[in-house]
Amino acid sequence: MLVLAAVAIAGARPAAQTPAATKTLRAHRITTPVRVDGVLDDPAWQQAEAISDFVQQDPHVNEPASERTEVRVLVDHEAMYFGFVCHDSDPRGVIARELRRDNPFDGDDHVEILLDTFHDHRNAFHFAVNPLGTQYDALITDEGHDINAEWNERWWSQTRMTADGWTAEIKIPLTTLRSGRDLDTFGVNFKRYMRRKNESAHWTGWSRDYPFLQVSQAGHLTGVEQVETGLTLRVKPYVLGGVRDLAANGASDVKPLRDVGLETVRFSVTPGLTAELTANTDFAQTEVDDAVVNLTRFPIFFPEKREFFLERAGIFEFGFSGRRGARGAQERNLQMFFSRRIGLTEDRVPVPVRGGAKLVGHAAGLDIGLLDVQTGRFGATPGSNYLVFRGKRNVLARSNIGVFVSNRQATSADYNRVVGGDANFTLFKNTDIQAFLAKSMSSPGPGVTGNDYAGRAKYNWFTDLHEIFVEHLYVGPEFKHDVGFVRRTGVQRSDAAYIWQPRPTLAHVRNFVIRNELVYVTDIHRTLINREQISQWTTRFQSDDATRVNTTHTFDRVERAFEIAKGIVVPAGDYGFRDTWAEYEG
């Protein structure tokens, strides 16, 4: 095992991390909007309280940030303003290259804001900018269990390079934010990353046991009483016009193209509840999917990018997506709500959407998501109505329980319904225990045995030095979910991993990450159909470069031959192989 090999060279553990008292910053109330130009020369900025007590998470945990960062917050009747002054003893060393919105800033200097407007210590808005003014935004649900980076809203930022660093001025309209009634405090945290030093400094919550998106580690932002957040009304119609030439046998047949509809109408029901409508929807302007070559016999998960389905999409998450699992969230075996099953075929061909309505937000102590969409006939497939309800109630400090209901009803007698419940507990700050159980009910058909259940249980314990991950998934052979993503039915999948991340006393090495994992998949009769034994060693250097060596021993039973390309068929049978690779990440 790689763990045994690492024992001899592992250094001392990090110094003990003492939690600090919750920090507080007061937003300064203004009556006249400031000009967002990145200069921060408006007198209001000088009147606002400034915080500068940033603490390193890396490379030297618990030590003050090596460069001074000042943050101020203003608020008026229409927006919140954030001002960053990022001092730097070597301003020519500031690194900024990324110009694409929502791309990771891992290679750039940047600042981040985490804003918990419901002050529930669980959910937040995430904003970031680099010195070029490039923006990143996301919705954070359940402390990062769901990160919706496809969410995009209107906000403004300007940055300036200065003689001693750089500055950033950010304006976030209150209509972009959502909050509860009568709140006088938001949760907030700030982060600055300096690429050339690979230094990550947080205002609060800098323990290496917690990522920046751990909303419960945020500080307090006061001075926001009587701030009215929430969207009033936003309308996004579309008009389509053109001609189509249907040439046949040398003859031209020109037909006009014309259409009109509403891509989205969004408005506030309450400060915490948002309603959204769509009619005769055309998603032609939606960003295209990434090109992927599928060499497996299983479907590939593509993320949702259509605006109507993105608003507060994390509320509809049911079960869990494995944020801290050794395999990460990229491999989806089961996702109980997958909105791309609505208005798209399995081959990603658009299906007419006649209309839809959605209600999402927080009310009466519940996180609520309600979705109703009607599609039209597509070829020989009749139109269908899709109804999805998700409700969650927060319990204890950082836990929740919930229910999920979905129904697809075709204009014919065909239907599919799924009901389920889940529980997600976070205990002792670093232990996740999660489980769900769901049952499907479909139109009567041949071969239905009643084994139409799916469920999963997961245990995850994590610190900066260790992580243990154990999960068991069951999907019955008759489980059917027409609004979910099901990679494989009739299986039991067990996954166990141990991850060790020592920080040795070596000059140029930040840490090692040694991962050992076993994935064991059987059918419902416990006959082995797939097994993976994974050993991986990562060395991350102080420069943030990394080398990675991975060895995987795989057994795979192909029960039916399948074609991976035209004329290339993988025969049925048992296969065993070893895969070893190495990579450099710079």
Q: What percent of the chain has pLDDT over 70?
A: 88
Q: Which helix (H) or strand (E) holds 429?
A: none
- How many other β-carbons are positioned within 10 Å of the β-carbon of residue 567? 6
Question: If you write DSSP's letter for every residue of 284-320 in order, what string do you get?
Answer: TTSPPPPP----SSSPPP-----HHHHTTGGGG--S-
| 156, 255: one domain | no
CATH number at residue 151: 2.60.40.1190
Average pLDDT of the residues of the chain: 86
In contact, 142 and 318? CB cutoff 8 Å: no
Distance CA 238, CA 116 (A): 33
| Together in a domain, 160 and 266 | no
Task: Please indicate, yes or no, whether residues 299 and 203 belong to a single structural domain of this protein.
Answer: no
Does 172 map to a domain? yes
Least trusted range by pLDDT, from 151-165, 259-273, 280-294, 402-416 = 280-294
* Partners of 514 in the β-ladder: 500, 537
Closest by CA to 139, choosing from 291, 11, 304, is: 304
Per-residue pLDDT at 19 exceeds 50? no
- Asked if 114 contacts 188 with a C-beta cutoff of 8 angstroms, the reply is yes
Same structural domain, 367 and 276 = yes
Q: What is the pLDDT of residues 518-551, one digit of tens each?
A: 999 999 999 999 999 999 999 999 888 899 999 9
Residue 456 has pLDDT above 80, yes or no: yes
If asked whether residues 136 and 244 sit together in one domain, one would say no
> In the predicted model, what is the mean pLDDT of residues 264-275?
84
Identify the DSSP state of 310. Answer: H
pTM: 0.80
Residue 572 within any structural domain of the chain? no
Domain that holds residue 173: 21-222
For residues 109 and 205, the answer to whether their CB atoms sit within 8 Å is: no
- How far apart are alpha carbons 10 and 523 in whole angstroms? 41
**In a domain? residue 408:** yes
- Three-class SS state of 489: coil
Please check whether residue 564 lies inside any domain of the structure: no
Query: What integer pLDDT is reported at residue 13 of this predicted model?
Result: 39
Per-residue pLDDT of 468-500, as tens digits, reads 999 999 999 999 999 988 889 999 999 999 999
- Are 195 and 263 contained in the same domain? no
Q: Do 28 and 138 share a domain, yes or no?
A: yes
| C-alpha count within 13 angstroms, C-beta hemisphere, residue 545 | 6
CB 167 within 8 A of CB 39: yes
**Would 167 be classed as within a structural domain?**
yes
Alpha carbon distance 282, 263 (integer Å): 7
Q: Assign 362 a pLDDT band (cuts: 50, 70, 90).
A: confident
End position of a domain, from candidates 201, 222, 243: 222
The answer on 262 and 194 residing in a single domain is: no
Structure tokens at 233: 């009304």
* 558 located within any domain: no
Structural domain tally of the chain?
Answer: 2
Which pLDDT belongs to residue 249?
60
Examine the pLDDT at 196 and tell me if it is beyond 70.
yes
pLDDT at 22 over 50: yes
Whether 524 is in a domain gets the answer no
CB burial of residue 21 (10 Å; 0-12, 13-18, 19+): exposed
Question: Is 513 a residue whose pLDDT tops 50?
Answer: yes
Which strand (E) or helix (H) includes residue 182? Answer: none
For 476, the token pair is 């019955």
- Residue 241: pLDDT band (50, 70, 90) is low
- Is the same domain home to 374 and 410? yes
Please check whether residues 261 and 397 belong to one and the same domain: yes
Statement to judge: residues 475 and 355 lie in one domain: yes
Contact 469, 518 (CB under 8 A): no
Residues 304 and 196 in one domain: no
Q: Is position 528 within any domain?
A: no
10, pLDDT greater than 60: no
